[in-house]
């Protein structure tokens, strides 16, 4: 069976030949994609070479995946260049081993290191995967401050009518944010039959948003609030909740509340499900510098031009341990991975990271394409690199 993209490839080449346009004129990314197109929209099962190209073009493939635009600011926030960090790590080797698309270190708002790989560059977008969860968390705080959400202890089904009568009926917003709903979910990225692989292909026949239709059928595994279990589906429900309560698409609300007023420089996008709603547990496409700017927004406690955009204490609560995950020194906040030393991180599969250390006023942002969705050894090496950066900053401060 010839896929949509293969048809597009044939059509594009015919049109180029007819118009006398040289093959090289369409650029290396499109050439690579047309020669080796993905078979479907499930990026979990694309080849690594397809991901190398596709992760910076995901929102340019509307035949496979549609998206909503996140509008940038007319007055971008400057990121001044600071003194280069004297890194001991062999960065050529580090980039190769990590298959990095980009790495950026901000210290006190200044760029201390920036580099790109695998065809990425400052002017291109890269997909975030679950880094988007942490941004979705911020939107919950904003909807709470704006009065669209009454309390984190409200039941989710008060805001998402379709969850009434399901295992989520008595789950609170707080329990969704901390992934302690107790509802059964399979997050195995290598299993085509897992929930995380199947939910976005679900076609609702009950008039509900597809993610609500899928999630309402899941059984309970534990009493609500008693056990942490990682579930992308629950962040997708959070996105539905924010959209229902604010009456805005998530991309619009993010643009209005953060992207434009804080000074994000580049247009971004948010991928959509089959029924046109943002996949809020995943898939914001943005430049590496704007991912780092979001880290600054968090460092600055969500304040923009001196005005609070979040409830008092929200960021401290969201980025500190709210539930135990069974790993010493670590925890989970409101869609943030936390460390007992006060640092925290937004993380996405295949190597996406925004690491934030408030004590050192440090933001480290990575885009990458690991061979597999999760790579424990590469993740360990990445945090060893971050520890090197922190030690260098401590030496500077002496």
Residues 208-228: pLDDT tens digits? 999 999 999 999 999 999 999
Apex 141 CA angle, 143 and 368, nearest 5: 115
pLDDT over threshold 50, residue 295: yes
Quick check: is 277 in a domain?
yes
Quick check: is 308 in a domain?
yes
**In terms of domains, do 260 and 389 share one?**
yes
The predicted pLDDT at position 200 comes to 82
**In terms of domains, do 125 and 191 share one?**
no
- How far apart are alpha carbons 51 and 26 in whole angstroms? 19
**In terms of domains, do 127 and 160 share one?**
no
Mean pLDDT of the chain: 92
> Of all residues in the chain, what percent carry a pLDDT higher than 90?
82
Residue 54, domain extent = 4-60
- pLDDT tens column, 309-351: 999 999 999 999 999 999 999 999 999 999 999 999 999 999 9
**In terms of domains, do 56 and 171 share one?**
no
**In terms of domains, do 131 and 180 share one?**
no
The predicted pLDDT at position 64 comes to 77
pLDDT over threshold 50, residue 292: yes
Q: Model confidence at 26, in pLDDT bands (50, 70, 90)?
A: low
Taking Cα atoms as reference points, which of 202, 190, 199 lies closest to residue 282?
199
Q: Model confidence at 5, in pLDDT bands (50, 70, 90)?
A: very low
HSE value, Cβ hemisphere, 13 Å, CA-based, for 54: 28
**In terms of domains, do 276 and 220 share one?**
no
Quick check: is 54 in a domain?
yes
Quick check: is 177 in a domain?
yes
The predicted pLDDT at position 344 comes to 98
The predicted pLDDT at position 237 comes to 97
Q: Confirm if 59 and 285 have CB atoms less than 8 A apart.
A: yes
What CATH number did the domain enclosing 220 receive? 1.20.58.710
Count of CB atoms within 10 A of residue 328's CB? 6
**In terms of domains, do 133 and 261 share one?**
yes
pLDDT over threshold 70, residue 38: yes
**In terms of domains, do 274 and 331 share one?**
yes
Number of domains in the chain: 3
The predicted pLDDT at position 27 comes to 76
Quick check: is 76 in a domain?
no
**In terms of domains, do 310 and 382 share one?**
yes
pLDDT over threshold 60, residue 305: yes
Quick check: is 150 in a domain?
no
Taking Cα atoms as reference points, which of 82, 137, 129 lies closest to residue 361?
82
Taking Cα atoms as reference points, which of 130, 154, 186 lies closest to residue 335?
130
Give the CA radius of gyration of the chain: 21
pLDDT over threshold 70, residue 109: yes
**In terms of domains, do 203 and 229 share one?**
yes
The predicted pLDDT at position 43 comes to 83
pLDDT over threshold 70, residue 154: yes
**Residue in the block written with tokens 């897992």:** 194
- pLDDT tens column, 60-85: 887 778 999 999 999 999 999 999 99
Q: Confirm if 211 and 273 have CB atoms less than 8 A apart.
A: yes
**In terms of domains, do 233 and 327 share one?**
no
pLDDT over threshold 70, residue 56: yes
CA 116 vs. chain centroid, Å, equals 19
Cross-strand bridge partners of residue 105: 113, 364
Give the least confident one: 166-170, 206-210, 304-308.
206-210
3-state secondary structure of 105: strand
Q: Model confidence at 49, in pLDDT bands (50, 70, 90)?
A: very high
Q: Model confidence at 28, in pLDDT bands (50, 70, 90)?
A: confident
Q: Model confidence at 9, in pLDDT bands (50, 70, 90)?
A: low
Q: Model confidence at 2, in pLDDT bands (50, 70, 90)?
A: very low
What CATH number did the domain enclosing 130 receive? 3.40.710.10
The predicted pLDDT at position 201 comes to 82
The predicted pLDDT at position 17 comes to 44
**In terms of domains, do 166 and 122 share one?**
no
Rounded to an integer, the average pLDDT of 230-236 is 96
Quick check: is 149 in a domain?
no
The predicted pLDDT at position 71 comes to 96
The b/e string for 17-52 (b: 16+ C-beta within 10 A; e otherwise) is eeeeeeeeeeeebbebbbeebbeebebbebeeebbb
Q: Model confidence at 274, in pLDDT bands (50, 70, 90)?
A: confident
């Amino acid at each position: 069976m010839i896929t949509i993209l293969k048809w597009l490839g044939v059509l594009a080449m015919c049109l180029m030949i007819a118009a006398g346009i040289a093959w090289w004129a369409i650029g290396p990314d499109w050439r690579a994609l047309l020669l080796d197109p993905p078979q479907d929209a499930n990026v979990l099962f694309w080849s690594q070479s397809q991901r190398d190209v596709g992760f910076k073009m995901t929102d340019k493939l509307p035949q496979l995946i549609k998206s909503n635009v996140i509008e940038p600011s007319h007055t971008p926030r400057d990121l001044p260049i600071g003194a280069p960090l004297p890194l001991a790590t062999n960065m050529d080797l580090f980039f190769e081993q990590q298959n990095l698309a980009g790495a950026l270190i901000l210290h006190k708002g200044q760029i201390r290191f920036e580099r790109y790989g695998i065809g990425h560059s400052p002017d291109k977008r890269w997909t975030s995967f679950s880094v988007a969860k942490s941004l979705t968390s911020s939107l919950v705080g904003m909807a709470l401050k704006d009065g669209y959400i009454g309390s984190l202890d409200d039941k989710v089904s008060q805001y998402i009518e379709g969850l009434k009568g399901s295992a989520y009926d008595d789950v609170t917003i707080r329990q969704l944010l901390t992934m302690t709903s107790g509802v059964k979910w399979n997050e195995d990225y290598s299993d085509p039959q897992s929930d995380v692989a199947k939910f976005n292909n679900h076609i609702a026949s009950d008039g509900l948003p597809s993610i609500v239709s899928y999630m309402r059928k899941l059984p309970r595994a534990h009493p609500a609030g008693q056990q942490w279990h990682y579930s992308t589906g629950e962040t997708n429900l959070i996105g539905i909740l924010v959209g229902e309560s604010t009456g805005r698409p998530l991309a619009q609300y993010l643009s209005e509340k953060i992207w434009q007023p804080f000074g994000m420089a580049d247009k971004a996008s948010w991928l959509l499900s089959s029924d046109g709603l943002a996949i809020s547990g995943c898939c914001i496409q943005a430049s590496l510098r704007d991912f780092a700017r979001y880290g600054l927004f968090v460092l600055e406690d969500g304040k923009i031009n001196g005005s609070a955009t979040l409830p008092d204490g929200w960021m401290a609560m969201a980025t500190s341990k709210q539930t135990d995950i069974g790993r010493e020194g670590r925890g989970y906040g409101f869609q943030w991975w936390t460390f007992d030393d006060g640092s925290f991180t937004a993380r996405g599969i295949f190597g996406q990271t925004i690491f934030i250390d408030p004590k050192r006023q440090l933001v480290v942002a990575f885009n990458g394409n690991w061979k597999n969705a999760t790579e424990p050894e590469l993740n360990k090496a990445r945090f060893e690199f971050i520890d090197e950066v922190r030690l260098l900053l401590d030496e500077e401060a002496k």
